[in-house]
Amino acid sequence: MKIISDLHIHSRFSRATSKNLTIKNLEKYARIKGLDLLGTGDFTHPEWIKELKRELTEDETGILKTKTNFPFVLQSEISLVYTQDGKGRRVHNVILAPNFEVVNQITEYLLKHGRVDYDGRPIFKIPCPEFVEMMKSIDKYIEIIPAHIWTPWFSLFGSNSGFNSVEECFKDQTKHIHAIETGLSSDPAMNWRLSQLDNLAIVSFSDLHSYWPWRIGREATIFDCKLEYDKIIQCLKNKNIDSTIEVDPNYGKYHLDGHRVCNVCFEPKDSIKNKNICPKCGKKLTIGVLHRVEELADREEGYKPKDAVPFKSLIPLSEILASSIGSSVATQKTWKEYNNLLGKFGSELNILLNVEKKELEKTTDEKIAEAIIQNRNGKIKIKPGYDGVYGEPVFDRETISEKKRNNVKQAQKGLGEFC
């Protein structure tokens, strides 16, 4: 069975998250989005784990269910901050666990190294190899996935705190790393350029900090297997991924280089010309994902492996609607049109991926229908994100149909003048 999953999320107990992140809201908006499986987020936090145990029921499959039968997988994110080779390292890892008992053991181990009650994504001064080794000694079915591996500040390859290879980071425990998460600012095609990643599954998840439909499931991984924990882990180990849903990397907050305080955004070649220094204030630029990929890639842009897993780049529907009607994602005007489409077609991902244009045009404005199809076909331009600033969809205010009509009018006018 096809399972559309988002296995990197957060609870309201993580910093900078919505205070309304509850299991009820997560389930509600996962169904609205069209997701089939969610991570729980933050299972080490003492208050959140109480809520998980109260709201979710586990069984022998390793999949937890709500009272209305929506499935979750036990998941958390851990921040490891330490020094290696004379450089400060800050690496985030997504952790998957098969049951509550294993989660209890993970938390007991972490409590020997610090606190878990101050943040849903706690920080520990534990090197990555030591952390992975301990996780595997607790339970062999714990899965560790390096999170958003290219972001500058907290990741495996981050320009400010990362490493140049997976092995440099995880050393002898690299054998237990089976997958990497692309993050919003990169997509599989960018990661294909590194031969060192050939043996790893490439997955994508949202890293949501709120449940709204422009956050939840904005990136997702589709598995084709039984809805069982060990089957999903086997898919990761065997690179048996059906496909992934991505956003255009330009949409991510760290795709290009820049300095947001000075409103400076550079392509890598321009950063290099300026010696990675902001031309306005003289401070160091934040080196983005595209630049970092160029530094580490050993293949040309456009390389595609023979066993490449397909992916689809999509901008969230709320962004499409807001830009099409000249509003913002959280306004009543946008919500009204969102709910109009949802009431007819069931879920956002169904609308974005499957509904034909002629059916869309029966329910919504022609301009919106055209924008949804353009999004599906990867035809929407994105103003790139940089230094913590999200990228923005850029729409031509005329739809293709409007352009055709205008072209006909111009042709008729020209013909009349000629005659």
Distance (Å, rounded) from C-alpha 38 to C-alpha 263?
A: 36
Question: What is the DSSP annotation of 297-338?
Answer: --S-TT---TTPPPEEE---HHHHHHHHHT--TTSHHHHHHH
HSE at residue 410, side-chain half, CA atoms within 13 A, is 6
Taking CA atoms, 272 is separated from 150, 160, 291, 292, in Å, by 19, 16, 9, 12
Q: Is the pLDDT of residue 419 over 90?
A: no
Region 381-404: mean pLDDT is 78
Task: Please give the pLDDT value at position 45.
Answer: 98
Host H or E run for residue 28? helix 23-33
Average model confidence (pLDDT) across the chain: 94
Distance (Å, rounded) from C-alpha 231 to C-alpha 215?
A: 27
% of the chain surpassing 70 pLDDT: 94
For the stretch 202-211, pLDDT in tens is 999 999 999 9
Q: Is the pLDDT of residue 410 over 60?
A: no
Task: Please give the pLDDT value at position 397.
Answer: 55
Strand ranges inside 34-142, DSSP E: 37-39, 64-65, 71-84, 87-97, 123-124
Which of the listed CATH numbers 3.30.70.260, 3.20.20.140, 3.40.50.2300, 3.30.230.70 matches domain 2-250? 3.20.20.140
Q: What separation, in Å, do the N-terminal and C-terminal C-alpha atoms of the chain show?
A: 64
The tokens for 267 are 């392509």
Question: What is the DSSP annotation of 126-174?
Answer: --HHHHHHHHHHH-TT-EEEE-STT-SSSSTT-TTT--SSHHHHHGGGG
Region 74-90: mean pLDDT is 98
For residue 401, what pLDDT band results from cuts at 50, 70 and 90?
Answer: very low
| Helix-helix angle 366-376:400-418, to 10 degrees | 110
For residue 411, what pLDDT band results from cuts at 50, 70 and 90?
Answer: very low
Q: Is the pLDDT of residue 417 over 80?
A: no
Residue 123, helix vs strand vs coil: strand
Q: Is the pLDDT of residue 175 over 50?
A: yes
% of the chain surpassing 90 pLDDT: 94
Residue 197, helix vs strand vs coil: helix
Q: Is the pLDDT of residue 406 over 90?
A: no
Task: Please give the pLDDT value at position 400.
Answer: 42
Q: Is the pLDDT of residue 408 over 50?
A: no
For the stretch 83-119, pLDDT in tens is 999 999 999 999 999 999 999 999 999 999 999 999 9
Q: What is the pTM of this model?
A: 0.93
For the stretch 212-254, pLDDT in tens is 999 999 999 999 999 999 999 999 999 999 999 999 999 999 9
For residue 395, what pLDDT band results from cuts at 50, 70 and 90?
Answer: confident
The tokens for 275 are 């010696």
Distance (Å, rounded) from C-alpha 173 to C-alpha 23?
A: 34
Q: Is the pLDDT of residue 54 over 80?
A: yes
Q: Is the pLDDT of residue 339 over 50?
A: yes
In the chain, list all ranges with CATH 3.20.20.140: 2-250
For residue 379, what pLDDT band results from cuts at 50, 70 and 90?
Answer: very high
